[in-house]
Amino acid sequence: MSKVALVTGGSRGIGLGIARKLAEEGIALAINGVRDEESASAALDELRSLGVRVAYLQGNIAVKEDREAILEGLKSKFGKIDILVNNAGVAPRTRNDLFDISEEDYDHLMDINQKGTFFLTQGIAKWMAALKTETPEAELSIVNITSISATVASKIRASYCMSKASLSMFSKVLAVKMAEFGIPVYEIQPGVIETDMIEKVRETYHQGVKNGMTLEPRMGMPEDIGKVVAALVRGDLPYSTGQVLTVDGGMTIARM
């Protein structure tokens, strides 16, 4: 049986770019998203056209019952999991100054980006550990998609930066824990990527690129992240568990 990957937030944006590249590797896909399956049908059909099995697991990872349903859906539809890609996340509803962020908006973002990812991973990682114990030769892995915002501060996106910084530390702790079972964990920190998440500030970023914000003179594409994930789960970066790969076109390199 082919490998099976769960990609959270996999029906659009960076998640879809990742799913495409995994499908090209012949990896069966469990795609999670909050939209109903009909709304995600175009993306799912595209992935199926690449010749792999695709199942849609609708659910909001911020909700305990939905997380449980995602795990049960994986077990019932595939019976195993080889790759977990934690990609689901949201941007701030509004870009407010640190002094003006509401508790409601803070909770909404943290419940999805931080808490939801933590507890979904907890449940799936336990299962992966058991699978690896049963089949030691299985090649399992976990990839967390965070952001350069884990290390680059923004006073108008404080809660978002904090959520990504938390996930960055979670990646390290998870790498330590999963090493007990021989399961590598990686973190990818994307820079500015062309997705609907940046719709409100797209022109600002395009202008930034023109003005030298990135060393490579373009914005990133979802497939850029997908190619890196594919390399990781193929095992092209051995002896590297816990490592952080920054995919930002050189944006965060300190310059004089």
Residues with active-site annotation: 160
3-state helix, strand, coil in the chain (%, to 5): 50, 15, 35
User: For residue 202, which of 169, 210, 171, 181 has the smallest C-alpha distance?
Assistant: 210
Q: What is the C-alpha separation between 53 and 5, in angstroms, rounded?
A: 11
Q: What is the C-alpha separation between 36 and 42, in angstroms, rounded?
A: 12
User: For residue 17, which of 200, 252, 196 has the smallest C-alpha distance?
Assistant: 196
**Structural contact between residues 10 and 29, judged by C-beta atoms closer than 8 angstroms:** yes
Whose structure tokens read 């808490």? 115
Q: Where are the beta strands (DSSP E) in 36-184?
A: 54-58, 83-86, 141-145
Q: Element (H or E) spanning 68, and its range?
A: helix 64-77
